[in-house]
Amino acid sequence: MHRSITRRSWIAGAASLSAQTDSAAIRLPKKLRVALVGVDGHIAEITSPLKVLPDVELVAVAEPDPRAMRKVARGAAIAKAKHYTDYRQMLDREKPDVVSICGPNGDRAEAILACAERRLHVAAEKPLTTERADFERVRRAVKESGIKLTMLLPMRFYPIYAAIKQIVDSGEIGEVAQMGAQKSYQVAERPPWMRRHASFGGTIPYIGIHMVDLMRFVSGRELTEAASFQGHIGYPELGDMENTTSTIFRLDNGGTAALRMDYLRPEAAGSHGDDRIRVAGTKGVVEHMAATGLTLITNASKPRVITQLPPHKSLFVDFLDHVYNGRPVGLTLNDIYRANEIVFAARESAEKRQIVKT
């Protein structure tokens, strides 16, 4: 019997991580009204930073599943918000300034389009859509409406990965020639929408997009081609979900990168997930895994553990600071679009069994 990862336990874990944020409080030029569409995924990326956002209020949440709403309504921010079952009705009645779109992957495109039609800024879960055609519709709507869009890819804001980027940018490991990345999760109990390809979209876009963005971020290199395999071994209760994938990318300088992902992490493991990244350059190697921490070895220095890290930042705070205070944004629209394009190409490679340009 697989342990159930409920929305409540997932949100609690995410909130614990977000609680470590050192993001400074920011002031905004006006009071902002935020609404939430769906309660799956990284909603703590929106709710946890509210404590450092005195000018922001979560005014409404739209979730058609009453059981899901009851589970998350125990959180202080959501408990105070108005509850709806129809998100379009919520958008029209509450007239929020910013909308965070979570919920099933297959429903996300239409929700983003509804916000663009109403000229509402969006913080969306990932991937933006499950299919390329819908992705192009969203991209056109964002451009034509002039709204600001971000996507919940918070890993580039975590101290460990910001430190890796600093090391690479410093030139200490030389030119990046190879990268390796891993995401390994426990199977747990998955909601019905994740077990159907039409509403899920595949494991490569769903969790691979985190590491695709992260590899581009820390290395400064582009991923130009993808060769993927994906499969489903055992666990019939997962339905259409792939529980094992491997992708090889070509880098823009001729180097390579490998991404392996699975839903095979044993229940006895001390954590739900095991994320790893390794960046090898012409002068050294920097890598991170939970067992060893962040380590660095170069031609000029012995192996050492890096413990001095940058502060944790909040993706949502960064986004609002950009939209309303004009600050540079930490996750650009180009980064968001490229991450989506690359995971679609990687999935296509697995489906067609051929190398695909990204």
| pLDDT at 16 exceeding the cut of 50 | no
Q: Does domain 7-154 bear CATH number 3.40.50.720?
A: yes
For 70-109, how does the pLDDT look when each residue is reduced to its tens digit (9 = 90+)?
Answer: 878 777 788 899 999 999 999 999 999 999 999 999 999 9
Token pair belonging to 124? 């969306």
For 155-212, how does the pLDDT look when each residue is reduced to its tens digit (9 = 90+)?
Answer: 999 999 999 999 999 999 999 999 999 999 999 888 899 999 999 999 999 999 999 9
> From residue 60, how far is each of 86, 224, 251 by CA, in Å?
11, 41, 43
346 and 177 Cβ atoms separated by less than 8 Å: no
Angle of helix 333-352 versus helix 203-219 axis, rounded to 10: 130
Spell out the CATH class of 155-314+341-357: alpha beta
What pTM was computed for the model? 0.92
Domains 7-154 and 155-314+341-357 share a fold: no
**pLDDT at residue 23 in the model:** 58
Average pLDDT, the chain: 92
Domain ranges of the chain: 7-154, 155-314+341-357
β-strand pairing of 176-186 with 273-281:
antiparallel
246 and 228 Cβ atoms separated by less than 8 Å: yes
For residues 274 and 164, give the distance between their C-alpha atoms in angstroms, rounded to a whole number.
18
